[in-house]
Each structure stands twice: as structure tokens, then as C-alpha cells.
Amino acid sequence: MSDKNKPQTIAQKILAYHCGRDHVSEGEIVNAVVDIVLGNDITLPIAIEEFDKIGTGRVFDKEKVVVVPDHFAPNKDIKSAQQCKFIREFARKQEIKNYFEVGKMGIEHVLLPELGLVLPGNLVVGADSHTCTYGALGAASTGVGSTDVAVAMATSRLWFMVPKTIKFIYSGSLKKWITGKDLILYTIGLIGVDGALYKSMEFSGPAVNKLSMDSRFTMSNMAIEAGGKFGIFEVDGITEEFLKPRSDGNYKIFRSDQGAEYEKIYNINCSDIELQVAAPHLPSNARNASDLSNVTIDQVVIGCCTNGRIEDLRIAAEILNGRKVDGNIRTIIIPATQNIYLEALKKGYIEIFINSGCAVSTPTCGPCLGGHMGVLAEGERAVSTTNRNFVGRMGHPKSEVYLSGPSVAAASAVAGRIATPEEVM
């Protein structure tokens, strides 16, 4: 069979479409037109400097470049204020339609899907590694360097190497409290932090087909923690229901062909998966939460582009309702967007959090990268629903971060140690 007649994966089909071709081969270098280019307050300033050197003067499309100041915003210090001012002035000069100021912004990878800015079949690049989040919508999205973003802003094009694809088939029934965070931590623990290096991770199977969009976003978000280039779900009824209020349906759905070639196929029985925690200092150090009950903590963070959505806040509120946070720890809850914050307020979750002794923040990446709103001191430990637990990720190099889903995080806040919901409810 010639390469042109070979069955294609979703990743191959999206890249081929954006090159104006019917077929691309694994390992081939292609020059593709992108749909969205994303930058934030940390990475975009460098991109703007490189963009100015290119000399086009204008971005390729002022509606397709998205600017979100979310990492150190609201500004934590003078340096971050200067960064945000720099990208704000660029957005104004370029008449960027999708620039989101404090009070309107959210954490970028939650905000863009919420607003319908990313759709199935899109090819999206962003100067942030967790841009892979949009694969939950059947898009091919990935993080790139600031120089690449500069080129994409100027020309609408970027080169890609067509990745091989690893397929993950999830079967069985999920136990109570298990969400996409537990499935992806378990998966990263199974294959390692380089187990999908520059590969497209294709998530499928009857167990994940029942997952909410919030859980799917979480899984795609953390594909990069296994080295993945893309983390893609096929579009189904749940996806389309999410898109109904956000789109006129004018998008292109790609599905992997029967007989498409995969580098590996993993069959995972979800019935065997317990609540997961990734111990320091790698996301691949996944363990059963129940095996870490002797680990005392100083802080809990519930939020981030991984787990700051309404499903996460609902789970946390269910566990914290009528209970108090342990007096020896700090608990910080960060709704990922203004709309999520407002919905949590209407549903009574914010009142539950405050009555429990939690601090509730405006949307920001903040503590996830050791920026602000929850930086750890020497020797401190945190349970966090964020996505990375590298040395010094959330503060002092001698602090520790344990990654979990919202149920373990909320239960740990009550217990003052790593705990499961059954232990505190």
C-alpha cells in the first residue's frame, strides 16, 4: 500500500488539512496554516520582540491572535506589571480582538474553550506548554516557543513534524470520585514523563467516552507531562453539546481511519484505578492516595488550567460543605474564569469555601508556577490540583508538591494530610 493510501490518524488528518493536502506521513516536516496563535504575559513579550524583527508590521489576523495575561495577573510586582503593560500596548496597537484584561480574563486554557475560540479540527499553537488542552475538542493544539509564536503571528504558518500516535483505550467503570485527573496521572505513571515524547496521544474507549468535558480537558491538558505533542479526543455527542452555545456548528470533525497505524496501543481497565496522587518530583510518580495517608501538608491549592473548572469546584464543595479546613494548613481555591467564578457563586460553592476556611482568588495561574497567591516556603508541602511538581515548581527548591484531583485535594484540606473523601465524610 502506498503512503497516500494508508489510513490516517486524527493528528495526521488535521495537519494534512492545514497543509492543503489529503495525506501526510509520520516523521514528515510540513508547513501548516494555523487557526489560533496564543500568548500570555510571560511568553508573549519575547515573541513580540521577535515579531518586530520580522518586519511585517501587522499580525496575520487580528481575530486569530489571542492575548491573555494570566500567569502573574493581577500584577504581583513591578516586573510583572511591566510585562502586562507591554503586551497590553501590543494588543492595542495591533487591534487584537481577543485580548482579555483583568476582570474579563481567565486562565487561558480554560477561557478559550469557554468562549468558543477553539473548535474541532483547528490547528492551534501557543507559547505555553499546556496549549495541548484543546485536544479535548478534537483539535490539534500544542505549545511552542516564543520565536515560533512570533513567526506564526506574522505569517499564519508554522512547521511541524508529523507525530506518531499512541492510542489509549480506557474500559471498565470509574469508581466514585474518580475523574480525568486520576486517569491521566495513572497513565503518565504507566508510560513515564517521556513515554509519549513528540507523539500524539489519542484517548478513546467506553470509559472516557462517558467523561465530562471538564475531565477531558484535564486529560488533554496533561498530555505534555508525558512528553506528548497533542492529546486528542474524538468529537462525540458530549463534545457537540458543549459546543452548541459556543459555535454555529461551522467546524470540521476528523476521526482516525479504521486500520490507522499506532506506535503503541495501551488498554487500561479503569475499574482497577484508585484515586491518584503524583508524589514529588515528577508527574509520573503516581501512587494510590490511600498509600500516602501519612504525608502531612501545609497547603492545598484547587485551581489551575488543569482543575479550575466548575466540575472541580463542585466536587470540592461537596466534600467541604459543613466541614472546616484543618487549622494548620492554608487552602486556596482559584476558579479558572470569571464565568466559572460566577457560576460557583450562584450555586453556593463560594460560600461553602469561605465558611470552610478557604481563601478564594480571582482567576490566575498564580501558585501553579510559584508565581504568587500561594508560594511555598522551605520545607513546606502542598497538595495541588495543578499539573507539575518539579523541584521548586511552587516555590522554594526544598518544598514539595503532591498532584491530585479535586476530591483528594479537598479531603486533604480537611484532614491536614493526604486523604480520600471517605476518610473525612
Per-residue pLDDT of the chain (425 residues; tens, 9 = 90+): 456 778 999 999 999 999 999 999 999 999 999 999 999 999 999 999 999 999 999 999 999 999 999 999 999 999 999 999 999 999 999 999 999 999 999 999 999 999 999 999 999 999 999 999 999 999 999 999 999 999 999 999 999 999 999 999 999 999 999 999 999 999 999 999 999 999 999 999 999 999 999 999 999 999 999 999 999 999 999 999 999 999 998 999 999 999 999 999 999 999 999 999 999 999 999 999 999 999 999 999 999 999 999 999 999 999 999 999 999 999 999 999 999 999 999 999 999 999 999 999 999 999 989 889 999 999 999 999 999 999 999 999 999 999 999 999 999 999 999 999 999 99
> Within this chain, do residues 235 and 298 fall inside the same structural domain, yes or no?
no
Q: Provide the pLDDT for residue 13.
A: 97
> Within this chain, do residues 236 and 298 fall inside the same structural domain, yes or no?
no
**Integer Cα distance of 425 and 420 in angstroms:** 9
Q: Give the list of residues 6+ apart from residue 93 with CB closer than 8 angstroms, or none.
A: none
474524538: which residue's cell? Answer: 234
> Within this chain, do residues 58 and 207 fall inside the same structural domain, yes or no?
yes
Domain count across the chain: 2
Written as nine digits, the cell of 24 is: 501526510
| Domain endpoint, select from 224, 248, 273 | 273
Could you tell me if residue 2 is inside a domain?
no
> Within this chain, do residues 336 and 254 fall inside the same structural domain, yes or no?
no
> Within this chain, do residues 317 and 174 fall inside the same structural domain, yes or no?
no
CA 412: distance to chain centroid? 23
518544598: which residue's cell? Answer: 399
> Within this chain, do residues 305 and 242 fall inside the same structural domain, yes or no?
no
| Domain endpoint, select from 273, 288, 319 | 273
Could you tell me if residue 377 is inside a domain?
yes
**Integer Cα distance of 75 and 354 in angstroms:** 24
> Within this chain, do residues 353 and 263 fall inside the same structural domain, yes or no?
no
> Within this chain, do residues 307 and 185 fall inside the same structural domain, yes or no?
no
Could you tell me if residue 118 is inside a domain?
yes
> Within this chain, do residues 48 and 100 fall inside the same structural domain, yes or no?
yes
| Domain endpoint, select from 273, 289, 324 | 273
> Within this chain, do residues 219 and 356 fall inside the same structural domain, yes or no?
no
Sign of CA dihedral 122, 385, 195, 145: positive
Residue 140's domain comprises 7-273
516555590: which residue's cell? Answer: 395
Q: Which CATH number belongs to the domain containing residue 91 in this structure?
A: 3.30.499.10
Edge-to-edge strand ranges of the sheet holding 276-278: 286-288, 276-278, 400-404, 381-384, 299-302, 330-333, 359-360
> Within this chain, do residues 192 and 322 fall inside the same structural domain, yes or no?
no
